[in-house]
Amino acid sequence: MTNDWSFVLTPHFLVGTVIAGLLLNIVAAYLVRAVDHVRKALPASYRRAQGDESVRREQLTTAATSDNALYAALAAEAGRLRLHQLLRFFIVFVCLFALVFLVTFGEAKPGIGVLGLLLIVFLIAMGVIQYSQGLDIGKRARRLDIALRAVQRNRKLPVMD
């Protein structure tokens, strides 16, 4: 059995592809507008929390600028957080790879059974949990990275002779 790809060169396919692309562009523009509208309409508590977060970040930046030991500890903590985030995403990758392997093996040999279904549910749950934890760790690491970058802009390197 051979694959016939000659339908790609037909005018109907080309026109349909262009129309689908234009429709996706319109949908994306409306989606961007909706996200901008939601961002403007956020509740005051969220904006207040963002303001409090920036105040804490400024305090952390000020403290780390004046104390070298604190700066070193924060830099080490940022590296540790990024390593944990990478580990979480690697676990998600392993879960997805195992899930794809299990589904492919199940199609090759019908009747994977109850154990296979439980394994699929476990892999999906584990992947979702690890992914959400990795995103949370990424948010914390990003906050720390912003503070560390601000400290690096304020610090002057000694002149090397």
Residues recorded for the chain: 161
- Domain ranges across the chain: 1-41, 56-154
Please report, as a single letter, which amino acid is at residue 100: V
Encode the chain (161 residues) as per-residue pLDDT tens digits.
Answer: 467 777 777 888 889 899 999 999 999 999 999 988 887 777 777 778 888 888 888 888 888 777 778 888 888 888 899 999 999 999 999 999 988 888 777 765 666 677 778 888 899 999 999 999 999 898 888 888 888 888 888 776 555 44
CA-to-CA distance for 68 and 151, rounded, in angstroms? 10
CA-to-CA distance for 76 and 141, rounded, in angstroms? 11
113-154 and 68-108 helices, crossing angle to 10°? 160
Name the residue among 122, 78, 76 with its Cα closest to residue 99. 122
117, 44 Cβ separation under 8 angstroms = no
Angle at 56 between CA 50 and CA 62, to 5 degrees: 135
CA atoms within 13 A on the CB side of 59: 6
pTM of the model: 0.59
Name the residue among 160, 158, 147, 154 with its Cα closest to residue 73. 147
Task: Give CA separation, 12 vs 4, 6, 15, 133, in Å.
Answer: 16, 12, 5, 46
